[in-house]
Structure 1
């Protein structure tokens, strides 16, 4: 069985070769490929040893240009990564990651990641016309490839619960479940996407919503 990092890299190679994306002038974000060593270091420290114990997944959309699109780690920018791993000098920041890392720090990273696996429906991010382009805006043929890869990840983790982080993700998870996938998985009531939560006027309320939800799952 491929590791979760191998799963992501194999998917990148498959999706990056798509003629359909090229024809639509959609670029596959690839900076994280240069940081593969850091991705593997993160997974070795926080994820790999916990796979058998993790029963809850938090699931976002797909990486963005300024956060996970660079680091390869969902909802983690380089500023956050510099606190999670040693010898990271970059301090690039991104709003979604700033909010999400505040949740992680509330529990401490080791405790958080020993209970929660964080991922996206699509492991890879996209850009079109110098803007983030989300998986749900892609063709049905490409989305089916994305869903297949996501389900492969879920077979590795084998969660009991998935918490969607946006209405679009919740719709996708319910679509997959209606097609006979994720049979024994509870799709919990979703939380707002961290980008929305990062808006100053939303932060305090959304932080409390996240903590209220996660307190049920983080032991």
Structure 2
């Protein structure tokens, strides 16, 4: 089995899409920033420098204020420095999804235990911008069609790190789960996929129920499917 951290870092630092994107849509490519490369190398050396097998947690795609800045899924610059103890010069702005995910990480037992068990990524590891705002890969039909082959290949590449394929966790119970489930039926990436409410949805629309949603996540991640 490969060194997980080295394989993941090599994959991420070379992220790019060869296909032409629909007009008006551009990519978020944080790894063009040398500091992003630096903090990611530190992150993977700190939490993934081993040959352990991990389960995948898949979000939708990076946004401008989390992984779009740091290059690390659901990690904003504040969590990167204060929780993961990786100093950085990025503008210290909190991101809602990151707030929720780090509550889950804390209650799971902290970053070292969490990242020893899970690899957090996205169905599309590259994020997208349209009219200066985040756009999900499935929001634009043409974009989704263009990305299909890329997403399949990126999943295959990441599975080679040493992923436990018995189950994966999909963040987003709607379109993200629908798309990933269809791909899985075609390519048999995982034995099963467990859908969970997306952190941004929880923080924007269900914040009063945050504790309940954290509990649902913990039940799922510990091997019990949460009740809807």
Which of the five TM-score ranges fits, normalised by the shorter chain?
0.7 to 0.9
What is the TM-score when the length of structure 1 is the normalising length? 0.86
The alignment yields a C-alpha RMSD, in angstroms, of: 2.0
| Aligned pairs (5 A) from 1:200-211 | 200-211=207-218
Which residue does 1:65 correspond to in 2? 64
Out of 134, 137, 141, which is 1:135 matched to? 137
- Residue in structure 2 matched with residue 189 of structure 1 by the alignment: 194
Structure 2: unaligned runs, 5 residues or longer: none
The answer on whether the counterparts of 2:43 and 2:86 sit within 8 Å (CA) in structure 1 is no
Contact residue 60 and residue 121 of structure 1 kept, 8 A: yes
Matches of 2:192 and 2:32 in 1, distance apart? Answer: 31
Asked if the contact 2:167–2:194 (Cα under 8 Å) also holds between the matched residues in 1, the reply is no
Name the CA distance, whole Å, in 1 between partners of 2:123 and 2:49: 20
The 5 A counterparts of 1:50-199 are 51-54=51-54, 56-82=55-81, 83-88=83-88, 90=90, 91-106=92-107, 107-136=109-138, 137=140, 138-159=143-164, 160-167=166-173, 168-182=175-189, 185-199=190-204
TM-score by length of 2: 0.83
Which structure's residues are more often helix, by fraction? 1
Distance 1:76 1:122 in 2: 16
Distance in 2, Cα, partners of 1:195 & 1:4 = 25
Conserved? CA contact 1:173–1:187, under 8 Å: no
> 1:32: Cα distance to partner?
4.1
Structure 1: state its 5+ residue gaps: none
After superposition, the C-alpha distances for 1:40-72 in whole angstroms (9 at most, x for unaligned) are 1101111231x4232x21111110011111111
Q: SS in structure 2 opposite 1:118?
A: strand
Aligned pair count reads 208
**What is the alpha-carbon distance in structure 2 between the residues aligned to residue 205 and residue 97 of structure 1?**
17
Contact kept in structure 2, 1:42 and 1:85, CA below 8 Å: no
Alpha-carbon distance, 1:198 to partner: 1.7
